[in-house]
Amino acid sequence: MSTNQILTPHFTLQEMTESLTAKKHGFANVPPPEAVENLQRLCTHTLEPLREKLGLPIIITSGYRTKELNDIIVHASRRSQHMAGQAADFHVVQGSKFKVQGDEGSKLNVQGSRELLIRAFRLIITEPEIDFDQLIIYPTFIHVSYVSRERNRHQITKANGNGTYCALSRAQALALV
Ligand SMILES: [Zn+2]
C-alpha cells in the first residue's frame, strides 16, 4: 500500500490517515484494506462531490484512526466511525495557499471561516449528488461519515463545543448560521 495513493481526484490516502498524535505516541496509523475501501467510498460519495460543488479546498484534520489512536483522542466516541475509515473531520479554507501538509496541530491553526463551514454543511444536506450517514457541525469543523447508500441514516447534529449535542431536522439545519 502506498500512502500517496489517490482515492479520488482531490483526496489521497495520506491526508486521510496522517496523524501527529499517532506519530507523537510512536505508533503507525495504518488502515487495513477494508478501511481503505471505506475511505474511498467516503471520498467518492461525500467529500469529492462536496469539493466539486464548493470549489474550495477541504482540509482533512482527522480521517482514519486505529483503535489505539481513537482511544487517546479526548472526546472521541468509543464507537467512532473514524476507526472503520467511514468518517472524516474537515474545515474549509479560502485559497489553496493555506493547504498545510503535516499534522492535526498545524492544520488546526489554519482558520477557515464559519461562513465557509456553513456553506459546506448546507451543500452536504441539499446536493443530491452528495450522500452521507452522519453529519455533525462543530464550531470550527465538520464531522461527516458515509456507510453505504442503503445504510446511511442521514442524521444531522449540532455539537455545541462543550460536549453537548442536539439533533437537527433538515429545516433547522438549513437555518443554522
Ligand atoms: Zn470526527
Which domains can be identified in the chain, with CATH numbers?
A: 7-175 (3.30.1380.10)
Task: Find the 89 Cα to ligand 1 centroid distance in Å.
Answer: 5
Gap from CA of 95 to ligand 1 centroid (Å): 23
Contacts of 52 (CB under 8 A, 6+ apart): none
pTM confidence score: 0.88
Give the tens place of pLDDT for each residue, 146-162.
999 999 999 999 999 88
pLDDT digits (tens, 9 = 90+) for 73-120: 877 888 999 999 999 999 998 864 444 555 454 444 444 589 999 999
* pLDDT tens-digit series, residues 32-42: 999 999 999 99
| Distance, CA of 120 to CA of 48 (rounded, Å) | 12
Give the Å distance between the CA of 82 and the centre of ligand 1. Answer: 6
Percent of the chain with pLDDT over 90: 78
Q: What is the 3-state secondary structure (H, E, C) of 108-125?
A: HCCCCCHHHHHHHHHHHH
Give pLDDT, residue 112: 59
CB count within 10 Å of CB 163 equals 7
Find cell 503507525 and name the residue: 28
DSSP state of 141: -
- Contacts with 26 (C-beta within 8 Å, 6 or more apart), sequence order: none
β partners of residue 5:
none
Are 70 and 76 in contact, with CB atoms under 8 Å apart? yes
Rounded distance from Cα 115 to ligand 1 centre (Å):
20
Closest CA to 14 of 29, 33, 26: 29
